[in-house]
Chains A and B, each alone.
Chain A
Amino acid sequence: MKKFSKASTASKKAFLNYGIVIAFFVIFQSLVSTGNITSALKGQLIPIACYMIMAVSLNLVVGISGELSLGHAGFMSVGAFTAVIVSSAMAGSSDKGSLIVSIIVGALIAAIAGFLIGIPVLRLNGDYLAIVTLAFGEIIKNILNCLYVGIDEKGVHFAFNNPAALAMSAEGKVIINGPMGAVGIRKISTFAAAIILLLIILIIIQNLVNSRTGRAIMAIRDNRIAAESMGLSPMKYKMLAFTVSAAMAGAAGAVYALNYSTLVPKKFDFNTSILVLVFVVLGGIGNMTGSLLAAGVLVVLPELLRKFSDYRMLVYAIVLILVMLVTNNEKLKGKIDTFFKKLRMKISKGGRK
């Protein structure tokens, strides 16, 4: 009986998250179709879903694998710019097909980037790892700042630091223009596609965590030496978590990029990495539901606070501090827990009568 209830708490939590995502979709989709939504908020729907993906995927590294990564936006940008190139190269294909292929290729390239960066980074730990991920995030951004990509009838041309080196024919079109970023992106992302991707990624993460592999990752987090002496290879499992997380960030980046007509590499700087980390920390490290809610609320909040214009960031900061105080207060937590226990007892007593 006890065993059963334990097994079902894990899946209950998982289904709660699917429920939240679906409810989020249904509510906002109906608001959009009835026209009861501001255009500013409507434009935020796809980014919100993307940031949710970013938050849960970063939570896999920070919460489950226990490594503080500060370069998550870097992987997002890899996915984003890959998707821009792929979608432009597939200009003749249907929107749906191009979007799916762009997401898959974006995730794959981001996974490769994650794997390569993981090789040196995961040999470090603690603060050192955080600093080096930060550095790699900036390196990716700076590389993209120097990247020129053009497309003509012969195919895709790449150049580094020198737009003239693209050597395109007269009909050629520049799609990524160094620090000016990507221009003329096909706007093929849809809210539904972003939500489906978010659901798929949630399923992958939660199933991964509740399996043999997830247990190994968490064991290495809790005690590396003991895990090693139990026959686990720390590098293998840390690498797996890091690469999967990078791939997911890449997928999020792909959907994000194909929602705008222009996109600059500067969008994916250190601030974006920290923003995603704030979602994870605020939602609770290792808590996927928290990550989803924090990402949703914190992307919308600045928009809702637009009325207060000048005081907007001030209120935002106060909300952040309040949430942290409340969620980290043991006394308050205890009181809330006892309140719910009493409530549950009353309900069950009432039920018996």
Chain B
Amino acid sequence: MSKSPEVKLVNVPSPNFVPEKDLGKPLVLEAAHLGIDFGGLVAVDEFNIGIGATEICGLIGPNGAGKTTIFNLLTKVYEPTRGTIMLGGKDTHNMTPSQVNQMGIARTFQNIRLFDKLTVEENVKIGLHNHIGYHTLAGVFRLPNYWKEEKKDHEKALELLDIFGMADLANVTADSLPYGAQRRLEIVRALATGPKLLLLDEPAAGMNPSETEELMNNIRKIRDEFQIAVLLIEHDMNLVMGICESIVVLNFGRIIAKGTPSQIQGNPQVIEAYLGTHRG
């Protein structure tokens, strides 16, 4: 009997925590030892996170802490220098942003990135792109499939816009929308791709308190209706403490605290990161 070859033993993702309701369901996203260097600068290091199936998780930290960099790593805009990202149990190594999207991550951007010259409805239809079932040639020759699918597409787009009460703006070009509406449209567009995990980069930026309140309700509504997980970056603490079930605090590219909102609020390290040390 020949001896079986010796296998290399590798670390598996460290134990994460999820809300009790998501216990037993597979994690949507699991990142372990994630890190990226820009030249000599270590932008993110040892980032570990696990997100439950219907969890709303907040990612907070002072400016420049690396929050958006983490979004860019998770969506493969940047290829990580270290660590692994598991999406629904699959390693995303060497995947492109569009492949990762098809695997179930959709995102919004801190500096709004809409398709400016297209209408609101067309923006949402781009999100639906991979769910529309007709070939390019069917479009060129206007085959029956084109009309059928375009009609379905149109109805679906309006239905999604209706979540945020934007259906009546369907024919307006995206760049003529007011700021708050542009942010909402980005969320609808991301939602249209049919994600399992929605990444929101400062969704409440530039919104007034009543708009923020409405946004909070809408994020909860989306989560409950579509049964998806949400990971959001936000500086508005009312929003973060109001809707997040768990919070990860980042400073200088490293996690300094993880836990429920009340745990985070009382964490001395977090207070230090935001307010500085108390000098006697």
Contact = CB atoms under 8 A, between A and B. Distances in A.
Nearest to B142: A207
Interface in A258-282: none
Interface of A: 2-3, 6, 204, 207-208, 210-216, 218-219, 222-223, 225-233, 240
Given A3-B171, A229-B107, A232-B126, A223 B98 contact: no
A3 B119 CA distance: 12
B136 A211 contact: yes
Contacts of B75: 229
Contacts of B113: 223, 225-226
A225 B114 CA distance: 10
Contacts of B122: 215
B93 interface: no
Interface residues of B, number: 41
A215 B109 contact: no
Interface of B: 75, 77, 96-98, 101-102, 106-107, 109, 113-119, 122-123, 125-127, 129-130, 132, 134, 136, 139-142, 146, 149-150, 153-154, 170-171, 189-190, 193
15 contacts: A207-B139, A211-B134, A211-B150, A212-B134, A212-B139, A212-B153, A213-B139, A215-B125, A219-B115, A222-B115, A222-B118, A226-B115, A227-B126, A230-B126, A233-B96
B45 to A, nearest CB: 24
A338 B80 CA distance: 54
A234 to B, nearest CB: 8
Nearest to A5: B171
A232 B102 CA distance: 9
Contact of A230 (B116, B129, B146): B129
A219 B102 CA distance: 17
A218 B106 CA distance: 20
A231 B115 contact: no
B136 A6 contact: no
B101 A231 contact: yes
Given A211-B134, A215-B129, 16 more contacts: A2-B170, A6-B171, A208-B136, A212-B149, A213-B136, A216-B129, A218-B117, A222-B116, A223-B113, A223-B114, A226-B109, A226-B114, A227-B115, A229-B97, A230-B189, A230-B190
Of all A-B residue pairs in the complex, the 7 with the closest CB atoms, nearest first, are: A211-B139, A231-B101, A226-B113, A222-B115, A228-B97, A213-B136, A219-B126
Contacts of A2: 170-171
A233 B98 CA distance: 6
A226 B107 CA distance: 9
A212 B189 contact: no
A101 to B, nearest CB: 21
Contacts of A212: 125, 129, 132, 134, 136, 139, 149-150, 153
Contacts of B115: 218-219, 222-223, 226-227
Contacts of A223: 113-116
Nearest to A2: B171
B117 A228 contact: no
Nearest to A234: B98
A252 B102 CA distance: 39
A226 B75 CA distance: 11
B189 A204 contact: no
B77 A225 contact: yes
Contact of B118 (A3, A204, A215, A231): A215
A326 to B, nearest CB: 22
Contacts of A214: 139
Nearest to A222: B115
A231 B193 contact: yes
